[in-house]
Amino acid sequence: MSESSNLPEVSGGSSSGTVAVPDRFEDPGLPQHRNRVTDVDAQAARRAERQVAALFGLSAVGTLLALVAYFALPYDTSLGYIDYLGRVQLSNLLVGLGLFIALFGIGAGAVHWVKTLMPDDEQIQERHALRGSDEDRDIAVAIFKESAEETGVGRRPLIRNSLIGAMALAPLPAVVLLRDLGPLPGSKLSETIWKRGTALVRDPEGGKIKASDLVEGSVVHVLPEGIEETEHPLNEKAKAPVLLIRLAPGLLDETSRAGAYQGIVAYSKICTHMGCPVALYEQQTHHLLCPCHQSTFDLTQHCKVIFGPARRPLPQLPITVDDEGYLVAQDRFHEAVGPSFWERG
Partner 1 sequence: MTALAARRRHPLATALLVMIGLIVTGVLYAAATPGRASAAPSAVNDVEAGKQLFLANCATCHGTNAEGRRNAPSLVGVGAAAVDFQVGTGRMPMAATGPQAPKVNQVLYTPEEIKQMAAYVASLGPGPAIPSAEDVDPAKGDVAEGGLIFRTNCAMCHNIAGKGGALTRGKYAPSLAGVTPEHIYEALVTGPQSMPVFTDQTITPANKRDIIAYLKSVEEAPAPGGLSLGSLGPVTEGLVGWLVGLGLLIGCAVWLGAKSS
Partner 2 sequence: MTTSTTAKTAGGLANWADERLGASKAVRGLARKIFPDHWSFFLGEVALFSFIILLLTGVFLTFFFVPSSAHTTYDGVYAPLVNQHVSEAYASTIRLSFDIRGGLLMRQIHHWAALLFVAAMTVHMFRVFFTGAFRKPRELNWVIGCVLVLLGIIEGFLGYSLPDDLLSGTGIRIASSIILAIPIVGSYLSFFLFGGEFPGEMFIPRIYTIHVLLLPAIFLALIGAHLTMVFLQKHTQYPGPGRTNKNVVGLPFYPVYMAKQGGFFFIVFGVITLLSALVTINPIWNYGTYDPSPVSAGSQPDWYMGFMDGAVRLMTGWGEVHLWGNTLSLNILIPALVVPGLMTIPLFLYPWIEQAATGDRREHHLLDRPRNAPTRTGLGAMAITFYILLLIAGGNDILAVLLRLSINDITMTLRVLVFVLPPIVYWVTKRICLGLQRKDRESVLHGRETGTIVRTETGEHFEVHEPLDEFTRWKLVQHESYQPLAELTAEDASGVRRPGGGSTWKRRLSNFYFEERVDPVTPAELAAAHHSHGEHEAIEGSPAGVAH
Strands 280-282, 296-298: pairing is unpaired
Name the minimum Å distance from CB 217 to partner 2: 20
Contact present, 288 and 297 (Cβ < 8 Å): yes
Q: Which of 40, 118, 168, 172 binds partner 2 (CB under 8 A)?
A: 118
Binding of partner 1 at residue 236 (CB under 8 A)?
no
d(CA 246, CA 200): 14
- Choose from partner 2, partner 1, none: what does 205 bind? Cβ within 5-8 Å by kind: partner 1
**Secondary structure element (H or E) that encloses residue 274, with its range:** none
Among 12, 13, 57, 86, binds partner 1 (CB under 8 A): 86
**Interaction residues for partner 1, span 282-301 (CB under 8 A):** 282-285, 287, 289, 291, 294, 296
What does 97 interact with, of partner 1, partner 2, none (CB < 5 to 8 A by kind)? partner 2
Nearest CB to partner 2, comparing residues 44 and 106:
106
Q: Which is nearer to partner 2, 299 or 305 (CB)?
A: 305
Among residues 264, 278, 344, the alpha carbon closest in space to that of 306 is found at 278
Distance of alpha carbon 193 from alpha carbon 223, whole angstroms: 10
Q: Is residue 173 near partner 2 by the rule CB under 8 A? A: no
By CB under 8 A, residue 30 contacts partner 2: yes
User: Binding to partner 2 (CB under 8 A): which residues in 242-301?
Assistant: 269-270, 273-277, 279-280, 291-295
Binding mask 66-105 for partner 2 (x = CB under 8 A): ----x--xxx-x---x--xx--x--xxxxxxx-xxxxxxx
Q: Is 34 in the site for partner 2 (CB under 8 A)?
A: no
Question: Quick one: angle between helices 81-116 and 42-72, nearest 10?
Answer: 160
Contact yes or no for 77/84 (Cβ under 8 A): yes
Task: Please tell me the count of residues contacting partner 1 according to CB under 8 A.
Answer: 48
Q: 173 or 204: whose CB is closer to partner 1?
A: 204
With respect to partner 1, which residue has the nearer C-beta, 41 or 149? 41
CA distances for 46 relative to 35, 41, 51, angstroms: 16, 9, 9
> Contact letters (x/-) for partner 2, 178-217, by CB under 8 A?
x--xxxxx--xx-------------xx-------------
**Closest separation in Å from C-beta 207 to partner 2:** 16
Check: CB of residue 288 under 8 Å from CB of residue 241.
no
Taking the CA atoms of the chain, what radius of gyration do you get in angstroms?
Answer: 38
3-state SS class at 184: coil
CA separation for the pair 86, 320 (Å, rounded): 51
| Residues with Cβ within 8 Å of residue 8, at least 6 apart in sequence | none
Closest Cα to residue 249, out of 214, 222, 281, 198? 214
CA distance 77 to 112: 45
The interface with partner 1 within residues 108-147 (CB under 8 A) comprises 111, 115-116, 120
Chain residues that interact with partner 1, rule: CB under 8 A: 34, 36-38, 81-82, 85-86, 88-89, 92-93, 96, 111, 115-116, 120, 202-205, 209-210, 212-221, 245, 277, 279-285, 287, 289, 291, 294, 296, 307
